[in-house]
Amino acid sequence: MKIGIVGCAGRMGRMLMNAVMDAEGCQLSGGTERPGSSLVGVDVGELLGRGAVQAFVGENPSALFAASDAVIDFTAPAATLSHAALAAEMGKILVIGTTGLSKDDEAKLAEAAQKTTIVYAPNFSVGVNLLMALTEKAAAIMGDDYDIEIVEMHHHHKVDSPSGTALGLGRSAAKGRGVALEEVWRKTRDGIVGARPKGEIGFATLRGGDVVGDHTVMFAADGERVELSHKASSRAVFAKGAVRAALWAKDKGPGLYSMRDVLGL
């Protein structure tokens, strides 16, 4: 399977390229960077220090899609929407790990997915997706007698808050309770905010250092507290999961799928 990486020269892009090269049954078809980048034209294998593979860094996403069976995108919302339109136009698989997409953005992804196969997830870690499934189940069992708080920490370079994974966990909890997250969430607390409303799902965001990603879902009631946690120590788990999703999507029809679909959760 020929897999290309948009935004290939950053930390995550290089992780993704290495994951493709290490995966059985995959071939790295190339990558893209912004027009004018000094890396345009460089062999992606040499960029990774693994020797030439006759696939190159380009600046034209259309050319990369044409040369690929699937493209993996961990870039930014505006770029991702452009790539989704390209995937729909050319009938290529698109795997999206971009965070910070709005509801309108997600609606556009769903529209593109009517014409091609898109796997979109806030997190491609197997462990995190298991945590989401467990969170949904726990929320359904415990009900609103238990207060739900979601605590996340990431490195100081991260630009969106709460993280896409934290919001995904919140949606899992809300689904377990049969409510819409947007109707019950509390993203910040500051000053005299009053007593905590029953049924609220709260978020706490921490930023610092080089933390790859820590997430904890707390279920707190009078007399006990249950905590479900996941800690990522390497971005390689996200890259491996994204490649796994691309391979899974190979024989799937058009549609908007999640990592939980990939894992059968």
186-232: pLDDT as tens digits:
999 999 999 999 999 999 999 999 999 999 999 999 999 999 999 99
| Cα distance between residue 29 and residue 31, in whole Å | 7
Q: Is the pLDDT of residue 100 over 90?
A: no
At residue 24, the pLDDT reads 95
Quick check: is 103 catalytic?
A: no
Instruction: Please report the DSSP string for 204-264 in residue order.
Output: EEEE-TT--EEEEEEEEETTEEEEEEEEES-THHHHHHHHHHHHHGGG--SEEE-HHHHHT
Q: Do domains 2-120+235-263 and 126-232 have the same CATH topology?
A: no
At residue 126, the pLDDT reads 93
Least confident of 81-85, 184-188, 234-238: 234-238
CATH of 126-232, one of 1.20.140.10, 3.30.360.10, 3.40.50.1970, 3.30.1490.20: 3.30.360.10
Q: What band does 95 get if pLDDT is binned at 50, 70 and 90?
A: very high
Q: Which of 154, 215, 230, 240 is catalytic?
A: 154
Domain 2-120+235-263 is found in CATH 3.30.160.40: no
* Across 223-248, average pLDDT: 96
Average pLDDT over all residues of the chain: 96
* Across 43-62, average pLDDT: 96
Q: Which of 108, 158, 187, 252 is catalytic?
A: 158
At residue 49, the pLDDT reads 96
Q: Residue 70 in contact with residue 3, Cβ under 8 Å?
A: yes
At residue 99, the pLDDT reads 87
Taking alpha carbons only, the member of 18, 27, 68 closest to residue 47 is: 18
Q: Is the pLDDT of residue 34 over 90?
A: yes
Domain parsing of the chain, residue ranges:
2-120+235-263, 126-232
- Record the pTM: 0.85
Q: Is the pLDDT of residue 122 over 90?
A: no
Quick check: is 158 catalytic?
A: yes
At residue 113, the pLDDT reads 98
Instruction: Please report the DSSP string for 132-173 in residue order.
Output: HHHHHHHHHHHGGGSEEEEEEEE-TT--SSS-HHHHHHHHHH
